[in-house]
Structure 1
Amino acid sequence: MRIRYALFALAATSFPVSARADEPAKVSYFKDVRPIFQQHCNGCHQPAKPLGGYVMTTHADLLKPGDRGKVGVVAGKPAASHLVEQIKVLNNGKAEMPKGRDPLNPIQIKLVTDWIAQGAVDDTPASARAVVVDASNPPKYSAPPVVTGLAFSPDGKALATTGYHEILVYDTDRYALKARLIGISERVQSIAYSPDGKKLAAVGGAPGRFGEVQVWNPESEKLLISTPVTFDTLYGVSWSPDSKALAFGCSDNTVRAVDATSGKQILQMGTHSDWVLGTVFSQDGLHLVSVGRDMSMKLTEVPTQRFVDNVTSITPGALKGGLMAVDRRPMASSAKVRLWSTVHTLALPKRMQKVPVDTPGAKPNVYDEVIIAGSDGKPRLYKVHREVKREIGDDSNKVREYDAMPGRISTLAFNPEGTKFAAVSSLDGKGEVRVYDANTGSKIVCERVTGPVYAVAWHPGGVVIASAGFDGTVWLHNAATGKLLQSFVVLPKK
């Protein structure tokens, strides 16, 4: 009996409550309507992408007209509200909005309609009224942001960093800020340039509210895609080799992928038992590797969305902690990298052109291999595909382990040739940046790192690595010697 009453009480607090059976329940904008807009509408109706000239990220914007001159929400008058007309399901089972997606369900449509009929009241608590952040009102920093992601453009001319509500893009000549890509996600957890260099992807969101995938044209500073996914922040974005798909991890224990042009989901795999924090595609793009807090690395077939195998050992205790980072070992030939280094080193600032480039000549990797790391601070190299029959307790895909770093490793990345990888870690307010030789295990510790480090990226010439973390400082090191070449702080002036 107690259980029955407890369930009834829980149900009563989960839905709008009506004072009388013959009148609609009182609908809350903050609790009922706003979450619907966040999940289904804000991707195309936000300051960075105001489809139809209509923005839906604030209550005040909802009451304004769009390009057609029709007011979206007319308080007390659903029939006069263009928004209601747009979300109404037509005889063919479709609706004008959300564009290109399934219509809102009848319950959601009724909530929006009833809210407007009841006066479209904004009941957002004072403590939850956020300052508007957009291109006209960019984030203002009282201290440098914690940098969780870095990415060099494929041509080496730009370095992107994460910030609050934005991605900051610096030119690599003087490392001057040249673009601020401001979106609706408070946290930007991970960023990556597409292999063809035409797009820049980001994943993040607002903790406990929504996750978001963003795709930008970094040159025009135009937001191409904003796709809400799940109800929490997203992690570990990666591009398919053909630049057509994006993969990422979710805190609902799934790994997902979307079409990079439409934002439509093309893959969802749910065999992880904890948050998924890192993803990477195989060289041919047919498989996806994911790592998570459940101390496992899993392999998924992309076209069929089929879980294939646990790449790491499934024996309890084989890994000492969750996995946070993964990167695929490139299969580029030494000749290709030598040519790139010769041509593109000239694009570097003059003070860096004389930095010695790694001597090519190492045998290129033939099979897909990935490097992983996480809470125990120990990088491990694995073959992606199993070559022998699984036996209980085996870890046959593992190629080698490397010396542990202090604390947990947040990110690691291979150089373009696949002969070296960089890894960053943090422990007790300190951080470290290392460059490992992937074949011998020898290592170089980069100098003058001042705090916890969460992000690392290789310049495509294989000459320089960038790293950053808690104090917002970006360090540029000589990858061959560990010497600090330059540093700057991510802190926009305006």
Structure 2
Amino acid sequence: MPSKLFVVPCLLLFAATLAAEEDRAVSYYRDVRPILQANCQGCHQPAKQGGEYVMTDFAKLIAGGESGDAAIVPGKPDESYLVSVITPTDGEAEMPKGKPPLSETDRKTINLWISQGAKDDTPASARPLFDQDHPPVYELPPVLTSVEYSPDGSLLAVSGYHEVLLHKADGSGIAKRLVGMSERIESARFSPNGEKLVVAGGSPGRLGELQMWDVASGQLDYSVPVSYDTIYGGSWSPDGKQVAVGCGDNTVRVFNADTGEQVLFNGAHEDWALDTTFSKDGSHLVSVSRDMTMKLYEVKTERFIDNITSITPGALKGGIAAVMRHPTEDQLLIGGADGVPKIYKMFREKDRKIGDDFNLIRAFPALPGRLYDVAFSPDAALVAACSSDDQKGAIRLFQTADGKQLRELLGQKGPVYSIAFSPDGKQLASVGFDGVVRINQVEDGSLVHEFSAVPLTGQTVSTSGK
């Protein structure tokens, strides 16, 4: 008898819980938008309108796409086309395409939101402002965080706000503007064959995003949401089949470059992972972090292998911001808060001992302030590093073989955040705090050319080179 008395209150509690679930107010911004962002918006955004359906704009989300049916009928989930395509039959749903169906909880949330009138409660500050047809308009130059030459030397990929700008490498004009969802662009890197551009960025505290662009057409191949904060340091495997990023959630991830499928996830870092690079055969991955370490992983097994830098307490002098692999060897050039460029062996050749820094090959003379980027010249004969110190910037060149400083590149007018050698090694491009792209001659350090990375209000920008 006591057990039966116990069952009745439990049933009443269960019924009350269900009733409370049905009565709760569902927020589009808080509850529904994250579901769509994680599962749908990568293929349904202005830069990639799958089925002519855009889900990042609320009015277009309601209206629907090429089917002609209203995607969402407020108050009527049974008449909403979106509900029909996300509802599985025999365990499969039409959408998300090529992915498992949304969870039952997510589907119930969407249904309940529609039943309650499908209201938009997105804060004005979080509404999308730009797309390919409405690119950003700049009154002031933005801070620039990334510059990269295409493998053939014809283009420069430069970070902007909500976009990557593909400049003609001689500075004669903008070839393309690649406008995506991420407001902050942290890195843009060409594939080894120059056909694709991988972009790492996001919206701080809200979204991390991996974008893959087709360079020739300027079209977005895919967009993958990655964690809930900005991502950094995109890199390509030597065969162009995989891309890696570091994340603000302390993880390092690798994706299939063709599909965007995640193939490696590792959380060995204790702070933001800021840059990545692959071994020369693509079997291993290296990452650097604000936690002052450089770490090694085996890609196939997703396994953390070792700290490449010293593990001796007090040996490390601040976070590491950048890493680049030697063009032909498994050696790593790094730079960070201590201002000292260093070259390390990727693989340990003897047992680790507390107090050693065995993998260190060479430390170069320090630059003023902290380093934000480092680069090997294409023939690996030179090392370049850029820094920021009290609103001043510097770029210096060193001989790789003996560490001797050769020269400082002229014309820098503020902190420098990214550098890149031209494919022939004769010039070096740089960007930073003042929003200007500068091209210096490597041989003598002279400033060859400088131009605004973005079209400013009232400025006529050539797209023809004339």
Give me the TM-score of the superposition, normalised by structure 2: 0.92
Cα deviation, 1:288-321, whole Å, max 9, x if unaligned, reads 0100011100100111111111111111211100
Partner residue, 1:447: 410
- Give secondary structure in 1 for the equivalent of 2:110: helix
Q: Does 1:159 align with 2:156?
A: yes
How many angstroms apart in 2 are the aligned matches of 1:125 and 1:188? 22
Partner residue, 1:420: 382
How many angstroms apart in 1 are the aligned matches of 2:238 and 2:77? 47
Q: Does 1:484 align with 2:447?
A: yes
User: Offset of 1:65 from its aligned partner?
Assistant: 2.3
How many angstroms apart in 1 are the aligned matches of 2:20 and 2:298? 51
Structure 2 unaligned residues grouped into runs of 5+: 1-15, 458-466
Partner residue, 1:265: 262
How many angstroms apart in 2 are the aligned matches of 1:156 and 1:115? 51
Partner residue, 2:82: 83
Q: Does 1:181 align with 2:181?
A: no
**Does the C-alpha gap of structure 1 residues 213 and 64 become closer, same or farther in structure 2, counting only changes over 3 Å?**
same
User: Offset of 1:377 from its aligned partner?
Assistant: 0.8
- Give secondary structure in 1 for the equivalent of 2:22: coil
User: Offset of 1:129 from its aligned partner?
Assistant: 4.7
- Give secondary structure in 2 for the equivalent of 1:294: coil
**Does the C-alpha gap of structure 1 residues 101 and 452 become closer, same or farther in structure 2, counting only changes over 3 Å?**
same
2:396 maps to which of 408, 414, 434: 434
Q: Does 1:239 align with 2:236?
A: yes
Cα deviation, 1:310-369, whole Å, max 9, x if unaligned, reads 1111112111000010000111xxxxxxxxxxxxxxxxxxxxxxxxxxxxxxxxxxx410
Aligned length: 441
The amino acid that maps onto 2:272 is: W
Partner residue, 1:328: 325
**Does the C-alpha gap of structure 1 residues 23 and 201 become closer, same or farther in structure 2, counting only changes over 3 Å?**
closer
Partner residue, 2:285: 288
Partner residue, 1:378: 340
How many angstroms apart in 2 are the aligned matches of 1:420 and 1:94? 55
Q: Does 1:32 align with 2:10?
A: no
Partner residue, 1:363: none
How many angstroms apart in 2 are the aligned matches of 1:178 and 1:217? 13
User: Offset of 1:416 from its aligned partner?
Assistant: 0.7
How many angstroms apart in 1 are the aligned matches of 2:126 and 2:301? 43
Root-mean-square deviation (Å): 1.6
- Give secondary structure in 2 for the equivalent of 1:161: strand
Q: Does 1:72 align with 2:71?
A: yes
Partner residue, 1:360: none
Q: Check the 8 A contact 1:24/1:114 in 2, yes or no.
A: no
- Taking only the aligned residue pairs, the percentage that are identical comes to 49
User: Offset of 1:21 from its aligned partner?
Assistant: 3.2
Matches within 5 A, 1:335-346: none
Cα deviation, 1:349-392, whole Å, max 9, x if unaligned, reads xxxxxxxxxxxxxxxxxx41001111111111100001111111
User: Offset of 1:35 from its aligned partner?
Assistant: 1.4
The amino acid that maps onto 1:250 is: C
How many angstroms apart in 2 are the aligned matches of 1:112 and 1:74? 12
Q: Check the 8 A contact 1:225/1:261 in 2, yes or no.
A: no
Partner residue, 2:108: 110
The amino acid that maps onto 1:449 is: Q
Partner residue, 2:462: none
User: Offset of 1:173 from its aligned partner?
Assistant: 3.6
How many angstroms apart in 2 are the aligned matches of 1:18 and 1:116? 20
The amino acid that maps onto 2:362 is: R
Give me the TM-score of the superposition, normalised by structure 1: 0.87
Q: Check the 8 A contact 1:240/1:281 in 2, yes or no.
A: yes
Q: Check the 8 A contact 2:171/2:449 in 1, yes or no.
A: no
Structure 1 unaligned residues grouped into runs of 5+: 1-16, 332-366
Matches within 5 A, 1:188-227: 188-227=185-224
The amino acid that maps onto 2:130 is: V
**Does the C-alpha gap of structure 1 residues 393 and 121 become closer, same or farther in structure 2, counting only changes over 3 Å?**
same
The amino acid that maps onto 1:163 is: G
How many angstroms apart in 1 are the aligned matches of 2:61 and 2:128? 16
